[in-house]
């Protein structure tokens, strides 16, 4: 019976699945964004987020536990030095999945999974959109008022 065994096996044996998810986590940490299928991205999120959460507390035990999962000194170093600083205040949700559509060859759903605080383009777009909206609202009301006041101010000066 399959009671309480609800996760995607990804058509792989457990050793192959663990190795694949560890390699994908290493790539995600080093490159901050990877392109993969939606099923793998969802499985990767479940695998990677507890590992990333351990990086908040930089102790020798946490480094050893993370290294036991990843087996990459470069990834562990990057995770505990650079990534941990960006996610220090975030309570969870360290990854974002952006769907891209279907792949041409096999029609698989493809997506990008990325670390949330590293998407500069999205952060700039969000910041620019908010600033642009505020500027347009402020310019509309005050721009009409100074134009009306300017002739009134010039008229007494001309007399």
pLDDT computed for residue 145 by the predictor:
55
pLDDT at position 14:
95
Q: Residue 124 has what pLDDT?
A: 75
Where the chain has pLDDT below 50, the residues are 159
Average pLDDT, the chain: 86
Fold of 1-118: 50s Ribosomal Protein L17; Chain: A, (3.90.1030)
d(CA 46, CA 50): 7
Query: pLDDT, tens digit, for every residue of 53-95?
Result: 999 999 999 999 999 999 999 999 999 999 999 999 999 999 9
Residue 144 pLDDT: 53
- Residue 73 CB coordination number (10 Å): 10
Q: What kind and span of H or E run contains 98?
A: strand 95-102
Kindly list the domain boundaries of the chain, sorted by start residue: 1-118, 119-159
Q: Which two tokens stand for residue 87?
A: 């996610």
User: With contact defined as beta carbons under 8 Å apart, do 80 and 63 qualify?
Assistant: yes
State the pLDDT at residue 121: 76
pLDDT of residue 134: 58
């Amino acid at each position: 019976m399959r009671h309480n065994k609800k996760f995607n096996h990804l058509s792989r044996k457990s050793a192959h699945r663990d190795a694949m998810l560890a390699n994908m986590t290493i790539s995600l940490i080093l490159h901050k964004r990877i392109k993969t299928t939606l099923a793998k991205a969802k499985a990767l999120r479940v695998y990677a987020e507890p590992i990333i959460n351990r990086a908040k507390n930089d102790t020798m035990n946490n480094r050893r536990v993370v290294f036991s999962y990843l087996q990459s000194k470069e990834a562990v170093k990057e995770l505990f030095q650079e990534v941990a600083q960006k996610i220090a205040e975030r309570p969870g949700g360290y990854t974002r999945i952006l769907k891209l559509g279907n792949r041409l060859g096999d029609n698989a759903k493809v997506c990008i999974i990325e670390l949330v605080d590293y998407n500069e383009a999205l952060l700039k777009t969000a910041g620019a959109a908010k600033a642009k909206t505020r500027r347009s609202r402020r310019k509309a009301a005050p721009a009409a008022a100074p134009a009306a006041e300017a002739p009134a101010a010039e008229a007494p000066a001309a007399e």
